Amino acid sequence: MAHQKLKVCGTLEGWVPNFFEEPTYKNEPCDFRLKIRVTEDADELREILRNNYNKLCDWYKKASGNRRFFAEPWIENEDGSVTVRVTAKPKYQEFPFPVVDGDLESVDEDLTLREGTTVLVSTVLMPYSPKSPQGGMRIRPRAIQIIEAVTYDASDSGDLDLEEEFTKTKGYKKSKPNVKKSTKKSDNVPDDDDEDF
């Protein structure tokens, strides 16, 4: 089954994991998870996601005979925006992935991004295997471009053809950092309600 590519532009929300260190939860390896709130063209994005989710659920049902599905990998917010949940699985070599600035330069690994950072994420809409106990759709990040960086301390911080995925854009550049201090204070602890795919 062909996997559809989709670009998602929005702001990071909730707990933002490190983009370079192997993800862990309670000192155990886990999947890389990220939430992106999309406000522009949210209705169009919602329709694309819904159509693909339904197609992949139908495909899974035919391939496996099973009618159990994981929840939709997005949340529809009261203000009309959509929060997209992306997941990369290190065990499938989906992590790490390229993280670049507006000039398509790799960002420094010591850049610690926080909620409110604006990103453009190249994703692929993934089906679950017919061998999986449940079907549905997973949104996998392929690469991330930082448009506007937000940090607490204002520090700087593949085989994928980045020139095809992104174009140079105004915004965050590692050579000329212009970061904002986050207005939210948190312990950078992951949400308890993250689902295990």
pLDDT of 175 reads 73
| SS (HEC) of 75-139 | EECCCCCEEEEEEECHHHCCCCCCEECCCCCECCCCCCCCCCCEEEEEEEEEECCCCCCCECEEE
Q: Residue 160: pLDDT band by 50, 70, 90 thresholds?
A: low
Look-up: residue for tokens 């035919």?
Answer: 62
Model pLDDT, residue 58: 96
pLDDT at residue 130 is higher than 90: yes
State percent of the chain over pLDDT 70.
81
pLDDT score at 92:
93
Asked whether residue 41 carries a pLDDT value surpassing 80, the answer given is yes
